[in-house]
Copies of this chain bind each other. A is one copy, B any other.
Amino acid sequence: MKEALEFIYKEQKEISTLGGVAALLGWDQMTYMPPMGAEERSDQTAMISRITHERIISDQLWHHIESLSKLETFEKLADKDKSVVARLKKDLEKARKVPPEFVEKMAKTTTLAYPAWQMAREKNDFSIFSPHLEKIVGLEKEYCDLVNIPGPKYNSLLDDYEEGMTVDKLKTEFEYLKSQLVETLQRIKSTEIYNKQENFDKKFSIKMQRDICDIIIDKIGLPKNRVRLDISTHPFTTSMGYDDVRFTTNFDHENPLFSLFSTVHESGHALYELGMPKDEFKDTVISDAPSLGLHESQSRFWENMIARSKPFWNYFYPIFKEFSPTQFKDLDLEVWYRYVNQVRPSLIRVDADELTYCLHVILRFELESALIDDKIKVSELPGLWNEKMNEMLGIKPTTDKEGVLQDMHWSGGDFGYFPTYAIGTVYAAQLFKKLSEDNPRVNEEIEKGEFGNILTWLGEHVHKYGRLMDSDEIIKKCCGDGLNSKVYVSYLKDKYYNLYGV
């Protein structure tokens, strides 16, 4: 037993070390790597991921886990070891269903699909991408058969990103959410305020945007000696280790709100990574997020519930406008707050406002789940995309570039990923509601730029668990219910009906 325990902890430590190496390879590729380095980088990434996968599915590791899982042995384990053994067993069971040859085939297919998607998008020609997408969808189905979670095939994909989530559960939540969002949007669109709203025309230099972001991450409380902010085309967060978390933003847009919200969003991810259970669970399977949805709940929490809130701008607007006093001379807080939360249906998900964002996600969920469960074909995607956009948002892409080709996810084989964006958004609202009950002074604290109690609360109710429970259990333990779109819808209606005078 002692030998087996020693082995599994040593192995988890090494797998975690390799994970940090892989994270660095990925981060560097998105931030600093010279363009020509891409080919050799893909060899490096593939090799590290192959070595890691070999370790994960090794018979030796499995043998030790099996012996530790035997009832009479398991019962003698310390609580900590029980958690680790049970979690690791579940992970290995799943990983061992997928042979290395399949992983390699998928990697090769997506490696070719990504540049095809780029070109298709550039040339606005879906036919360049569709044969690759056909192959990927075929492989995704094959993957579902390997993993074989009960119910619709797509359940096996969902489970990778949101363990335990099913098509049925999600359909119920998303149907409700969709109908409520569409209705809310309709009502807002008929208001005078909506029909008179103007485009934002303030422009900020990169230097100013950077300085604003530095103030925010300092205020929110990201520790400079464990974290750094860089620039990449698409903002993201990654960890090379418990004490080395990197996140990125983008200052290309002259509109400072893009970099501001993306920095706050990624700060939420980074704070979660920095708050993972350390002492006894560092370098074990426990020290990780249980799902992407819960991870997204942290980014959305800081982005939507904090940085798009009135109390936040009460505090931050005076600081913010000091960066460009002339541009804001006659612009009072009320007008500015409206601007920050302007509803404006748009074709591109990453530019969407808070209200319409989840509709973009639901559209993708409906299409990809139908695709995997053989209800639609790849060739039907562009048309269906445009129809659904029109149905939900009342606008229709005129090109596939603004439609079905806008996101890279499918080219990387990331089916089942999109829903976590909406799940996290809903969770964030549930968490904030509970926080406000636990600490009725929270808005006053935000108004003073004090975020310490909020961070402590998130640490206590989410971060500290790592994977000791799944997301559903963590949210239930904290908020009473599991995923509950009603809470989110109610928050949205309060906020936006008020803003638009509905």
Contact = CB atoms under 8 A, between A and B. Distances in A.
B36 A25 contact: no
A87 interface: no
Contact of A32 (B13, B33, B44, B228): B228
Contact of A40 (B25, B47, B243): B243
Contacts of A487: none
A41 B225 contact: no
B20 A240 contact: no
A243 B39 CA distance: 9
A244 B47 contact: no
B37 A240 contact: yes
A242 B28 CA distance: 16
A65 to B, nearest CB: 22
A21 B449 CA distance: 42
Contacts of A14: 47
Contacts of A37: 226, 240-241, 243-244
A261 B14 CA distance: 41
A132 B242 CA distance: 30
B36 A243 contact: yes
Interface string A224-242: 1111101000000000111
Nearest to A36: B243
Interface of A: 13-14, 17-18, 20-21, 24-25, 28, 32-37, 39-41, 43-44, 47-48, 51, 223-228, 230, 240-245
A242 B230 CA distance: 25
Contacts of A224: 34
B21 A244 contact: no
Contacts of A242: 40
A44 B36 CA distance: 25
A28 B493 CA distance: 47
A24 B28 contact: yes
A190 B213 CA distance: 58
Contacts of A48: 21
Nearest to A245: B34
Contact of A34 (B24, B34, B39, B228): B228
A28 B240 CA distance: 11
A34 to B, nearest CB: 5
A40 B230 contact: no
Contact of A17 (B21, B36, B43): B43
28 contacts: A17-B40, A17-B43, A17-B47, A18-B47, A20-B40, A20-B44, A32-B32, A32-B230, A33-B240, A34-B224, A34-B225, A34-B226, A34-B227, A34-B228, A34-B243, A34-B245, A35-B225, A36-B223, A36-B244, A37-B226, A37-B243, A37-B244, A39-B243, A40-B240, A40-B243, A41-B241, A44-B241, A51-B51
Nearest to A51: B51
Contact of A21 (B21, B241, B243, B245): B21
Nearest to A35: B225
A40 B230 CA distance: 20
Contacts of A245: 34
A214 to B, nearest CB: 15
A10 to B, nearest CB: 12
A227 B34 CA distance: 6
A45 to B, nearest CB: 9
A90 B39 CA distance: 30
A479 B228 CA distance: 49
Contacts of A13: 43
Nearest to A242: B40
A352 to B, nearest CB: 32
Contacts of A34: 224-228, 243-245
A243 B35 CA distance: 9
A457 B41 CA distance: 30
A70 to B, nearest CB: 31
Contacts of A241: 37, 39-41, 44
Given A24-B44, A41-B244, 11 more contacts: A20-B44, A33-B240, A36-B223, A36-B225, A36-B244, A37-B241, A40-B240, A40-B242, A40-B243, A44-B241, A51-B51
A39 B17 CA distance: 11
- List 10 A-B pairs, minimum CB-CB distance, nearest first: A37-B244, A40-B241, A36-B243, A36-B226, A35-B225, A36-B225, A17-B47, A17-B43, A21-B44, A34-B228
